[in-house]
Structure 1
Amino acid sequence: MLKTKMKHLLTAAAITTAFAVAPLSAQAGDKEMTSVEAGKKLAFSRSQGNCLACHAIQGGELAGNIGPALIAMKLRYPDKQKLFDKIWGKPNTQVPNSMMPPFGQNGILTDKQIHEIVDFIYTL
């Protein structure tokens, strides 16, 4: 119960500040920017990552509400590898009765594509 309330509190706090945060600056290296841009394209693509089918993402249109809003991701997943494992579909990261498909385990996305999505999501 407390864990759920904490998630709701963090989500509410992040939503109120999400739109005040400046866009990702070009200070990062070209390789990272390329990976972030590729990850955004995959996440917003209806035929590939399709994250918007279930999640609200800043800048996305027609977002779903099945999964949590993808905000404050560094706070929620301080270890980037754990976020990768969650999207890939490692058994120890799957939530029972979750609608989220194991993208890597089922071959929906390649490891490279999942890394790109993680790089993008980690900027949110």
Structure 2
Amino acid sequence: MKSFLLASFALLAACAAIAELPQERVNDGKQLAFDRNKGNCLACHAIDDGESPGNIGPPLAALKTRFKDKAQLRDQIFDATRFNPETSMPPFGRNRILTADEIDRIVDYLWSQP
């Protein structure tokens, strides 16, 4: 019984650590999105609590109503020219402006926004 309780506690502790990871990723994604030397999303988009946003692109809010899933949003950030050759949005992934992990973190942040 004691070993069962210890195993259960270890499993719960592991689950708690996993539950904290998404918020950390969301925070990292926000930092990347707001960083003028990285994602620089604010140069073109209004984002909740972002300072001095641009207005070239649409506001980055309610993205769950505009994209069917996170993968579609990720594809847009990776290379928006695939969907609109005339877009002014840089192909962040194709041009290696952001790494795949950085894009994923930004997607996690943007997807978490109301």
Q: How many angstroms does 1:91 deviate by?
A: 5.2
Q: How does 1:1-124 map to 2 (within 5 A)?
A: 29-89=19-79, 92-93=82-83, 95-124=84-113
Q: Which amino acid aligns with 2:71?
A: Q
Greater CA deviation, 110-119 or 72-81?
72-81
Question: Which secondary structure does the structure 1 equivalent of 2:76 belong to?
Answer: helix
Distance 2:64 2:20 in 1: 21
TM-score (norm 1): 0.73
Q: Which has the larger radius of gyration?
A: 2
CA contact (8 A) 2:80 2:89 kept: no
Q: How far apart, CA to CA, are the structure 1 residues paired with 2:81 and 2:72?
A: 12
Cα RMSD for the two superposed structures:
1.4
List alignment gaps of at least 5 residues for structure 2: 1-17
Change (3 A) 1:58 1:90: closer
Q: Which structure 1 residue ranges, 4+ long, deviate > 2 Å from structure 2?
A: 90-93
Quote the Cα distance in structure 1 between the aligned partners of 2:98 and 2:22: 19
TM-score (norm 2): 0.79
Percent identity, aligned pairs only?
48
User: Is the Cα contact below 8 Å between 2:79 and 2:91 reproduced in 1?
Assistant: yes
8 Å CA contact 2:32–2:102 kept in 1: the answer is yes
Counterpart AA for 1:69: P
User: Structure 1 or 2: larger helix share?
Assistant: 2
